[in-house]
Structure 1
Amino acid sequence: MHLIKSNWKIALGVIPALLIYCIFSIIPIFISFYYSFMSWNGFSAMQYVGLANFKAILNDSVFWLSVRNNLIVVAASVFGQIPIALVLALLLNQKIKGAKFFRTIAFLPVVISTVVISLTWRLIFNVEQGLLNNLLDNLGLSALAQNWLGNPDYAMYAIAVVIIWQFVGLYFIIFLSALQTVPRDILEAADLDGATEWQKTRYVTLPSIWGVIIIAVILCISGSLKTFDLIYVMTGGGPANSTEVMATYMYTETFQGLRYGYGSAISVLIFVFSIVMIILANVLLKKRGNRKPV
C-alpha cells in the first residue's frame, strides 16, 4: 500500500513536466507532419498536396547544400568536441594544481548566451579589424588572412570551429563526472600489475565509461542537426547559402518565404535524419564497445 502511494506521488510530480514536454515538443512534431502534406502561406486556406513538398525538396539544390553543411557540423561535433572533451577530462581528473579553475574555464562557453558568442566570434573573424587576421599579420602570416565569414570556401569551417569551442565544456563535464565513478580498486589492481597510464586508460577507464560516451555522441548528433541560432546570428546562412543548414533553411522557407507546408516538410526530414543517424551511431558504438580489446 505504501509503495502504491509512493508511485502516485512520483506520478503527480512527473505529470506537469510531461504535459509541458508533450505540448511544446511532441504535439508540434505531429502538427509538422500534418502541415508537410499541405500548401499554405499562413493566411489563405490550406490545400492538400500530398507528397509534392517532399518531391520539391528532393530536387532543391539549396536543401542538399544544407544537408552537406549539417553533416560538416555533425562531423566537427563528433570528431572535435568528443575527443577534445575526453582528453581534457582525463587530464583534469588527475590531482593537478588549479584543476578546479581549469574545469570552470572549460565549462564557461556553455553557459554564455549563443548570441553573445556569435557576435564575439564575428568580431574575431572580421576581415579588417578581426583578432584572427590581426594576429596572423603580426606573426608575419598575412598571406593566410581571409574573409573568414564572407568567403563561401571558408565560412562553414569557421563556424564549425566556433561550434566545437562552444560545446566542448558540456561533454567535458559529462566525461569528468563519469570518470569519477570508475572503481578505484580496479585502477589500483592495474597499478599493482604494472600497467602504464595508457594501458589503464585503454583497458579499464574507457570501457568503464563507454556507455556515457555513446550517450554523449547521441546528444552531439541530435544537437548538431538542430543547429540554428549560432549560424543565424553569425551569417544568416550566407554568403550564397554556403552556411545554410537544414534548420536555418527551414526557418527561411517557412517564415520569410511563407511556405509553411514546405518548411514543415523540411522539419520532418530533419526529424527523420536525426533518428537514422542516432540509430546508426548507437549500433556502431555498441558493436565497438562489445569488442574485446587486443
Structure 2
Amino acid sequence: MGTLKMKPAYYLYLLPALALFAVFFVVPFVQTVFISLQDWDSINEMEFIGFSNYMEMFRDEVFVASVGRVLKYALIQVVVQIALGLLFAALLRGEKKGNGFFRAVYFLPYIISSAAICVMFTVMYDNDIGLINNLLRAVGLDSWVHIWLGEESTAFYATIAVPIWQGLGMYIVILLSGLQGISEEYYEAAKIDGATAFQSFRKITVPLLWPIIQICIILSVSGAFKNFDYVYMLTGGGPGSSTHVPATFMYDKAFIGMRYGYGSAVAVFIFMLGFVFTLVFKGIAGRKSIDE
C-alpha cells in the first residue's frame, strides 16, 4: 500500500489557520514572555530586569501557596468529574424512558453563563437566606452551618464545587458518547464467562474508553489551571489569600498592582504548567496504551 502524499498546493489551505494561530497565540505569547523580563507599569518606560520577576515569583509565599492550591483543585476536579461522569453516563446509557430528559438536565448548567452560576451559588451559600444553611438548620445540624465563602476552612472547597458542578454535564455527554460506542456483545461474552460487573468495567469499559478518558482528564486539568472567573466572582481570592489561584494572583499583580512584568511572568508560568502537564500525561498515557 502506497503512502499518502500531500501535494504542495494542499499546504496553502493550512495558511489561514496558521495565520490565525500566529496572530492570536504565537505573537501574544512572545510578547508576554518579553514583558515578563521587564519592569513595567504601563506608564513609564520598560526597564529590562532579566529573570528578576520569575525569581521574585517563586519567593512569594502567596504565589507558591496558590500553585499548591490549583494542583489540589485540579486533582479533586479530575477525580470527581471523571468518576461522577462515568457513573451518570452508565446510568443514562441506552434508550430507557426518561434518559433524554435527564441528559438535557445534566448538560444544562454547562451552557449557562459562569457569572449567572456564581450569583446563584453566592445566594445559596449566604449565611442568612442561603439554601444550604437553612436546610442544615431545618434538620438540626446547626453546628454544620458556616459562612461558606467567608471562612478560610470552607471557602476553597465551596469555591471549587461550583466549576465542578457546572462542568460535570459536559463530561457526562463525552463519556456517554464513548460508552454508546462499546458493543453490548463484549459485556454479554464477559457475563457468560462469569465476570462480575466490576470486572467487566475494569477489563472492558475502562480500556475501550481510555482514549476518551484521557481527553476528559486533559480538559479538566487545563480548566483547573486557568480557572479565574469562579474564584474572582465568588471570593476574589479571599478571605485573605486562602482561595487565590495563579490566575487570580496574576490579575491582582498586573491589573490591580500595575506590575505588568510580574503579572506576565505568572502568565507564562500558568501556560508552562499546563503545557508540561499535557506532555507528561500524554507520554505516560501513550506508554500505558503500548504496554496494553
User: Could you state the TM-score of these two structures normalised by the residue count of structure 1?
Assistant: 0.90
What SS does the corresponding residue of 2:241 show, helix, strand or coil? coil
State how far apart, in whole Å, the 2-side matches of 1:7 and 1:204 are: 44
CA RMSD across the alignment: 2.2
What SS does the corresponding residue of 1:71 show, helix, strand or coil? helix
**How far does residue 18 in structure 1 lie from its aligned partner after superposition?**
4.0
Q: Report the equivalent of 1:128.
A: 128
Q: Report the equivalent of 1:164.
A: 164
Residue pairs, 1:72-83, within 5 angstroms = 72-83=72-83
Distance 1:195 1:11, change over 3 A: farther
CA contact (8 A) 2:156 2:242 kept: yes
CA contact (8 A) 2:136 2:142 kept: yes
Deviation string 1:214-256 (CA, Å, 9 cap, x unpaired) is 1111111111100011111111111101111100111111111
Between 186-195 and 143-152, the greater mean CA deviation after superposition: 186-195
Q: Report the equivalent of 1:229.
A: 229
State how far apart, in whole Å, the 1-side matches of 2:286 and 2:139 are: 46
Q: Report the equivalent of 1:153.
A: 153
Q: How many residues align?
A: 288
Distance 1:186 1:80, change over 3 A: same
State how far apart, in whole Å, the 2-side matches of 1:111 and 1:283 are: 32
Residue pairs, 1:274-293, within 5 angstroms = 274-289=274-289
Distance 1:290 1:45, change over 3 A: same
State how far apart, in whole Å, the 2-side matches of 1:11 and 1:171 are: 36
Residue pairs, 1:131-280, within 5 angstroms = 131-280=131-280
Distance 1:58 1:15, change over 3 A: same
CA contact (8 A) 2:94 2:180 kept: no
What SS does the corresponding residue of 2:153 show, helix, strand or coil? coil
Deviation string 1:105-147 (CA, Å, 9 cap, x unpaired) is 1111110100001111011111221111011000110110001
User: Could you state the TM-score of these two structures normalised by the residue count of structure 2?
Assistant: 0.91
State the identity as a percent.
37
Deviation string 1:23-45 (CA, Å, 9 cap, x unpaired) is 22332211111111111101211
State how far apart, in whole Å, the 2-side matches of 1:263 and 1:128 are: 37
CA contact (8 A) 2:149 2:155 kept: yes
User: Which amino acid counterpart does residue 112 of structure 1 have in structure 2?
Assistant: I
Between 192-201 and 81-90, the greater mean CA deviation after superposition: 192-201
Q: Which consecutive residues of structure 1, in runs of 5 or more, have no partner in the other structure?
A: none
State how far apart, in whole Å, the 2-side matches of 1:55 and 1:76 are: 29
CA contact (8 A) 2:114 2:229 kept: yes
User: Which amino acid counterpart does residue 178 of structure 2 have in structure 1?
Assistant: A
Q: Report the equivalent of 1:54.
A: 54
What SS does the corresponding residue of 2:75 show, helix, strand or coil? helix
State how far apart, in whole Å, the 2-side matches of 1:217 and 1:55 are: 31
CA contact (8 A) 1:221 1:278 kept: no
State how far apart, in whole Å, the 2-side matches of 1:205 and 1:247 are: 36
Q: Which consecutive residues of structure 2, in runs of 5 or more, have no partner in the other structure?
A: none
User: Which amino acid counterpart does residue 75 of structure 1 have in structure 2?
Assistant: L
State how far apart, in whole Å, the 2-side matches of 1:225 and 1:26 are: 20
Distance 1:54 1:139, change over 3 A: same
